[in-house]
Amino acid sequence: MVCMGSQAPRTAMTATVRESAMRKFVIVAGVAAISLGVQVYAALADDVPTFNIRKSCKADVQAYQSNAEGQASSAACLKDEEGARTTLVSQWTQFAQDSRTRCVRMVGDGAASQSYVELLTCLQMARDVKTLPKN
C-alpha cells in the first residue's frame, strides 16, 4: 500500500509534464506552420501564377451583361486576360518581390475573381507609387 501511495503523486506529476510538453509542441508546430506558410506563399510569387481565366471571364460576363446591356463578351475577356498574362511573363522580374507577393495574395485569392488584368494593374500601381514624390 505504501508503494501505491507513492505512485499516485508520480502519475499526476507525469501527466503534468506530458501536458506541458504537449503545449510546447503545439506552440512550436504552430510557429513552424506559420513560417512555412509564409515561405510557400513567397515562393509562389517567384513565378506568374496560373488562374482559371475561363471561370473568371464567365463570372465577369454574367455580372456585366445584367448591368451593361450585353456589352461584355467572353472572347474579349479571354483576349484581355491572355494579353495581360503575356505581359506579366515578360515583365515579372521587373516588379519588386514584395509587390509580387502582395498582389498575388490579393488578386490570387480563391474567393475572389482571379484576373491577370487585375494582377498586372496591381503590380503597375505598386511600381508607380514608388516613383511618386514624397510631398
Provide the grid cell at 57.
471571364
Question: Which stretch of 68-77, 100-109, 116-125 has the lowest confidence by average pLDDT?
Answer: 68-77
Asked if pLDDT for residue 64 goes beyond 80, the answer is no
Q: Does 84 reside within a domain?
A: yes
Residue 113 inside a domain? The answer is: yes
Query: Residue 127 has what pLDDT?
Result: 95
Q: Which domain holds residue 50?
A: 45-129
Q: State the total domains in the chain.
A: 1
1 within some domain: no
User: Taking Cα atoms as reference points, which of 127, 125, 135 lies closest to residue 97?
Assistant: 127
Handedness of CA 10, 15, 18, 23 (dihedral sign): negative
pLDDT band at 18 (very low <50, low <70, confident <90, very high): low
| The pLDDT of residue 38 is above 50 | no
The rounded distance, in Å, linking the Cα atoms of 110 and 72 is 23
Cα torsion for 36, 40, 46, 48, to the nearest 10°?
-160
Answer whether residue 61 is part of any domain: yes
